[in-house]
């Protein structure tokens, strides 16, 4: 599809200015060009959203539900196109991309269709009527690793709340955002309620964050960029929600099924080639089972040989960009320099895959909890195995980073696992491999974020509370 355009005030605008290349992760080839828009285009998009807000904020719940039903149908109809586009840009194997990258956006939209009729937009407390009002124009800045999923987590509840939206998608993986814009253009959504402006974060992203008519910023990305977003938003007292990095720990208690725990942790760690903010990248095991855990981890990653993400049998694809690949390789070299034991993988290119952005699945053992590879988010297929002395030591290590997005606990005793999970300073914990729940709140402690997404908590982020004293 042609990406050389912007979507502003219900109209597609051809772009003849400077563009940014979009690369295929498996080959490095240029797939498309997207506009490198300027502050001028972003200002027009915000103006359109601000004008549209007056009427959309007063739209009926039935009208908003109708739009989301049309969106849901469009997402389902274009599922295979979405999956292939993201597989090419990000590198997630097509089988997983179909289930996750294309499947989750439709599922999340459907979840809000079920939630909205029951949500109390007004409620009575004593002599007061409590009203939940849309916050205003929302600026959404989204990442490349789950490009449509992260957009949907913002756009759907924002529109459902009665807000209007300006989206700045990642220039690394923008195609699915354009597909979304096409779907919304075919719905009955009024002009100006959704706008898409592509470009560099330091140009159009900064203009979006700082615009006085933008009343909330919803951002997903790195902690470093989130820090800048928070400061810029605070200058104008804007609301903001930030979902950022993670360095999640998977605690294996002494009575756990070690083989199942290691397998579950490795599968989670390597999902999307480790390009997942919730990835379980630190495997904490009892000292006397460290070597056994390393052997099991090596066996597990040996089955994850990198390959063409468009092939149905591939389980580990490339990283999304040359920059990300080089960053991960630097961390792998650093791990060895810091004294960790290289158990599997390494910085060499995978056999037969010299093109594209491939990295071998890598496991380090005897990792020191305070080392850089145990403290910093690598965002690649790298697992750190860390031995601990006792339960208190495991909890201390798990909580010993600036992050707090996700985690896991494994134990033969469910109540013991829940007790340990309750001591982890993190936004979600998988207990003995519990399934991800899209209706539960998602977000982090500490440097992992501010605010929550999914379910009613995701909707409430886009609402202001007002009380009428009667």
pLDDT truncated to tens, each residue of the chain (470 aa)? 789 999 999 999 999 999 999 999 999 999 999 999 999 999 999 999 999 999 999 999 999 999 999 999 999 999 999 999 999 999 999 999 999 999 999 999 999 999 999 999 999 999 999 999 999 999 999 999 999 999 999 999 999 999 999 999 999 999 999 999 999 999 999 999 999 999 999 999 999 999 999 999 999 999 999 999 999 999 999 999 999 999 999 999 999 999 999 999 999 999 999 999 999 999 999 999 999 999 999 999 999 989 999 999 999 999 999 999 999 999 999 999 999 999 999 999 999 898 999 999 999 999 999 999 999 999 999 999 999 999 999 999 999 999 999 999 999 999 999 999 999 999 999 999 999 999 999 999 999 999 999 999 999 999 999 999 99
Q: Looking at the DSSP assignment, which residues form a beta bridge with residue 132? A: 465
Question: Residue 467 pairs with which residues in a beta bridge?
Answer: 130
> Is 462 found in the same domain as 366?
no
What is the DSSP code (8-state) at residue 349? Answer: P
User: Does 327 lie in the same domain as 194?
Assistant: no
| pLDDT at site 305 | 87
- Residue 341 within a domain: yes
What DSSP element (H or E) covers 362? strand 362-365
Give me the helix-helix angle, 61-77 and 79-90, nearest 10°.
70
Shared domain check, 240 and 94: yes
Handedness of CA 20, 246, 432, 270 (dihedral sign): positive
Kindly state whether residues 240 and 252 are assigned to the same domain.
no
- According to the model, what pLDDT value does residue 1 have? 79
Q: Is residue 396 part of a domain?
A: yes
**Structure tokens that stand for 144 in this block:** 């490349």
| 31: Cβ contacts below 8 Å, ≥ 6 apart | 22, 23, 24, 88, 89, 175
In whole angstroms, what is the distance from residue 72 CA to residue 406 CA? 28
Looking at the structure, do residues 172 and 308 belong to the same domain, yes or no?
no
Is there a single domain that holds both residue 215 and residue 196? yes
Q: What is the CATH number of the domain that holds 23?
A: 3.40.605.10
Would residue 25 count as lying in a domain? yes
Q: According to the model, what pLDDT value does residue 154 have?
A: 98
pTM: 0.96
Shared domain check, 253 and 113: no
Tell whether 281 is covered by a domain. yes
- CB 421 within 8 Å of CB 409: yes
pLDDT of residue 419: 98
Going by the DSSP 8-state scheme, the letter that residue 201 receives in this structure is I
What CATH number has the domain bearing residue 383?
Answer: 3.40.309.10
Q: Do 456 and 427 fall into the same domain?
A: no
Strand pairing class (214-220; 239-243): parallel
95 domain-assigned: yes
Count of domains in the chain? 2
Answer yes or no: do 301 and 188 share one domain: no
442 within a domain of the structure (yes/no): no
Same-domain check for residues 451 and 433: no
Q: 172 and 260 in one domain?
A: no
| 417 located within any domain | yes
Provide the domain limits for residue 29. Answer: 5-245+447-469
Contacts of 271 (CB under 8 A, 6+ apart): 96, 279
User: Catalytic site residues?
Assistant: 243, 277
SS3 431: strand
Q: Are residues 421 and 457 in the same domain?
A: no
């Amino acid at each position: 599809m042609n990406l050389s355009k912007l979507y502003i005030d219900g109209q597609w605008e051809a772009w003849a200015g400077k563009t940014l290349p979009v690369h295929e992760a498996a080959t490095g080839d240029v797939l498309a060009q997207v506009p490198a828009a300027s502050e001028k285009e972003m200002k027009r998009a915000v103006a359109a959203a601000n004008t549209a807000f007056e009427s959309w904020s007063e739209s009926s719940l039935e009208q908003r539900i109708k739009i989301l039903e049309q969106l849901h149908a469009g997402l389902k109809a274009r599922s295979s196109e979405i999956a292939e586009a993201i597989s090419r840009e990000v590198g997630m194997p097509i089988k997983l991309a179909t289930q996750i990258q294309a499947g989750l956006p439709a599922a999340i939209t459907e979840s809000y269709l079920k939630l909205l009729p029951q949500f109390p937009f007004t409620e009575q407390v004593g002599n007061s009527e409590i009203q939940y009002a849309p916050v205003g124009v929302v600026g959404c800045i989204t990442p490349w690793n789950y490009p449509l999923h992260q957009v949907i987590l913002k756009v759907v509840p924002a529109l459902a709340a009665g807000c209007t939206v300006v989206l700045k998608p990642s220039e690394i993986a923008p195609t699915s955002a354009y597909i979304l814009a096409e779907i919304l253009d075919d719905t009955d959504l009024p002009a100006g309620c959704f706008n898409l402006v592509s470009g560099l974060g330091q140009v159009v992203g900064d203009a979006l964050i700082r615009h006085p008519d933008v009343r909330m910023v919803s951002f997903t990305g790195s902690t470093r960029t989130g820090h800048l977003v928070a400061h810029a938003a605070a200058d104008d007292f804007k609301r903001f929600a930030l979902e950022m990095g993670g360095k999640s720990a998977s605690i294996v208690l002494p009575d756990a099924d070690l083989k199942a725990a290691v397998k579950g942790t490795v599968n989670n760690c390597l999902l999307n080639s480790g390009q997942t903010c919730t990835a379980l990248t630190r495997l904490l095991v009892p000292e006397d089972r460290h070597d056994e855990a390393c052997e099991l981890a090596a066996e597990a990653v040996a089955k994850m040989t990198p390959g063409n993400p468009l092939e149905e049998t591939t389980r580990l694809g490339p990283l999304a960009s040359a920059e990300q690949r080089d960053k991960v390789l630097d961390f792998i070299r650093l791990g060895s320099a810091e004294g960790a034991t290289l158990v599997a993988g390494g910085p060499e290119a995978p056999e037969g895959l010299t093109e594209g952005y491939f990295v071998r699945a890598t496991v380090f053992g005897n990792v020191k909890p305070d080392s850089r590879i145990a403290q910093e988010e690598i965002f690649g297929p790298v697992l750190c195995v860390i031995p601990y002395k006792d339960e208190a030591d495991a909890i201390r290590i798990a909580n010993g980073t600036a992050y707090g997005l996700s985690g896991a606990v494994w134990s033969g005793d469910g109540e013991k696992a829940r007790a340990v999970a309750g001591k982890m300073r993190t936004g979600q914990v998988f207990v003995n491999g519990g399934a991800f729940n899209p209706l539960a709140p998602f977000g982090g402690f500490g440097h992992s974020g501010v605010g929550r997404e999914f379910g009613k908590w995701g909707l409430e982020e886009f609402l202001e509370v007002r009380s009428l004293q009667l």
